Chains A and B, each alone.
Chain A
Amino acid sequence: MRADELLAQKHIVVCTGAGGVGKTTASAALALRAADAGRKVIVCTIDPARRLAQSLGLDGLKHDPTLVDASAFKRRKPKGELWAMMLDMKRTFDEMVLDLTSRDRAEAIFANPFYRHVSSTLAGTQEYMAMEKLWELHEEGRWELIVIDTPPTRNALDFLDAPRRLTDFFEGRFLRLMLWPYIKGAQGGIKLFNAGARAALRAVTKITGSELFSDVADFFVEFEGMYEQFKRRAVAVHELLGAKHTSFVVVTAPTEPSLREARFFADRLQQEKMPLGALLVNRTHDVPDAPGLQDPRALVAQVGGGPLADALAVYADWRTVAAREQRLLNTELGALGSTSVWRVPDLADDVNDAAALREIGELLATA
């Protein structure tokens, strides 16, 4: 699918990929392009570069949707609207708890030390909260298009697995069985244990000490009654991700590890029947061909020295890199068949204003 087509038709665009490939910049560029085309757009980013955040008016902690100020766009204001926000994982979790339970229960949960661990450091929480925020923004119904950036996961697959893993964790049949003896007022639960679980519990208590388990048990008691809603929410989010009006854009750098990961992720999306819109290969080195430049290295020798020889040497180097990238693209992405590949040449500068984002948007649209 072409970028403009995707931006005009979809309601949700999820930008994903490994860390350090330019997901945040790509998300912002896509969102601005859609806003320029007249749509009402929000981009939810995770950790934007400071100057990019400044350019979007997100300097300071703007965790609420904020309309990007007209001054950010110089003379060319978008036809539609561009909103932006940064994800606050802990706050999103708190809000979800408040949404799913009574205020008293919520306060008790917030006070539990174990909740602080779960909401800030448990594996998969950040990924899950990005999805929760997506669901909230969708429910609010204020935006025609939601572009969401995703956290830099250990590997891109974590992103799809996190909601399920976290749901399992909270549903916690196993956990509750394990914690039964620590739940205040519980009686006779130990009888329910099979020998294996008893042995496992003894072993785990041996290494952690038993006090920790009291906090954890309290936490699960407080969470009682939320499991079902929590699970329903996770199912709803999963359905939203698979919906017709959703599209994934897998962002990758033109390097071997990054492309390999992108391919795995694309495969995985297809297995899960999630809609893969395109692969965005970011920061490629594209070198224009020209008559007379077939063998730039030979020319370097002929020219001898000076600016032309230096420019020819650099040109030859870039061509080697371009060939390397093309070879990697062919070998790593060849198997993906009809998936669109958008190539965005390296701008060689840090992208930190609307003009640069628009330049990337233009490159995306013509890719």
Chain B
Amino acid sequence: MAILGPARVLMVSGKGGVGKSTVAAALAVAAAKRGERVLVADLEDRESVGPIFGLPKLPHQEHHIEAGITGLSVIPDEALVEYFRVVYRVPKFSRALLRSKAVEFATQTAPGIRDILLIGSIMQAERSRHDGRVQYDRIIVDAPPTGRLPRLLDAPRAIVELVRAGPIKPQAQRVLDLVLDPRRLQVVLVTLPEEMPVRETVEAVETLQKMDVTLGSIVVNGIWPALDSVGKNAKQKLRAPAEAAGLGAEALDALAAVASAHARRVANQRNTMTELSEQVTLPRIELPYLFTERIGRDEIDTLADLLEDR
């Protein structure tokens, strides 16, 4: 599958509500099914990917969550403490620092420091080695939504330009190298086949391409199946066969109402997808809307298989 290409770090983003956490989880499962050792990481400490794997949230330290998959929720405060621990080797001091509110100060006043730390944690996982080989073959990041992603990925450049000295500068440069290297990091944008998410996707593609960030496939989530045989005038088309099947007027009305709504939805989806393909030339992977009792671990498996097929 093209989506699991050479880049080991996949940043999965999209407008709120499009199912980016679902897609991130499905990508992690797809990679694990190939035998890859996978880290799935959340950058906003949300209850998003966690519940899919039966956890309230992903753990704050790298922790095995199922066969082949490790989970991690990156918290900037912890990341700062970790940074101090690694750079200055003073764990006690780090704890005092955390308590002293200095973290809040540093992360709020110095633009981008928090963002550098977040991506820095991902970079650390990317570089981490175990028994003479990389610890993770694939790192799937449930990244912030498209509205915030450009700022996150642009932070290292901003810091490199803004800060004249100090250890944060080389750190920012290393993070920038990761962000700009197509062999190491790609952004996977998830959208729904609807006006607003598509518009946001188109804007994000333009912005990220200007920043020289490499984009992988666009995942269009929740594609509704066509209902071409019914089309417009559902009631007219269905009347005769419904009568033949012994269905009454009420049943005909109910069927026609649902069929019409469905057909409108599909027509709208076609227009939106045309718009998307006119404005974005990246490869597209389509995932179906799931008409299932629940969206749980089994459904993620289904989506993972579909991602692998396409």
Contact = CB atoms under 8 A, between A and B. Distances in A.
Interface of A: 18-21, 49-51, 114, 117, 121-123, 152, 154-155, 169, 174-175, 178, 196-197, 199-201, 203-209, 211-212, 216, 253, 255-258, 260, 287-293, 299, 302-303, 306-308, 310-312, 314-315, 317-318, 320-321, 323-324, 346, 348-350, 352
A310 B105 contact: no
B54 interface: no
Nearest to A258: B17
Contacts of B47: 257, 260
B134 interface: no
Interchain residue pairs A-B with the least CB separation, the first 5: A19-B16, A20-B17, A200-B102, A317-B291, A308-B241
Contact of A207 (B166, B238, B294): B166
A288 B15 contact: no
Contacts of B227: 310-311, 314
Interface in B216-248: 225, 227, 229-230, 234, 237-238, 241-242, 245-248
A206 B90 CA distance: 14
B91 to A, nearest CB: 13
Given A20-B18, A121-B111, A200-B100, A312 B255 contact: yes
Contact of B96 (A196, A205, A290, A291): A196
A223 to B, nearest CB: 13
22 contacts: A18-B17, A20-B17, A49-B199, A121-B151, A174-B101, A175-B105, A178-B102, A199-B100, A200-B102, A203-B88, A203-B97, A208-B106, A290-B254, A290-B255, A302-B245, A306-B241, A308-B245, A310-B230, A311-B255, A314-B262, A324-B293, A348-B268
B258 A152 contact: no
Contacts of A256: 51, 295
A7 B84 CA distance: 54
B172 to A, nearest CB: 10
A152 B166 CA distance: 35
A303 B268 CA distance: 29
A194 B81 CA distance: 21
A204 B102 contact: yes
A115 to B, nearest CB: 12
Contact of B108 (A122, A207, A310, A311): A122
B268 A200 contact: no
B102 A201 contact: yes
A318 B262 contact: yes
Interface string B84-119: 100010000100110111100110111101000000
B100 A209 contact: no
Contacts of B15: 19-20
A92 B12 CA distance: 33
B126 interface: no
B258 A315 contact: yes
A256 B48 CA distance: 10
Nearest to A123: B108
Nearest to B48: A257
Given A18-B17, A314-B227, A291 B251 contact: yes
B165 A209 contact: yes
Given A19-B147, A314-B227, 10 more contacts: A19-B15, A154-B46, A203-B84, A204-B110, A207-B106, A207-B110, A293-B254, A314-B230, A320-B291, A350-B268
B294 to A, nearest CB: 6
B273 interface: no
Contacts of B163: 208-209, 211-212
B270 interface: no
Given A121-B151, A253-B17, A307-B237, A288 B166 contact: no
Nearest to B22: A257
Interface in B261-304: 261-262, 264-265, 268, 291-295
B230 to A, nearest CB: 5
Given A19-B15, A203-B84, A350-B195, A211 B258 contact: no
B196 A288 contact: no
Contacts of B88: 203
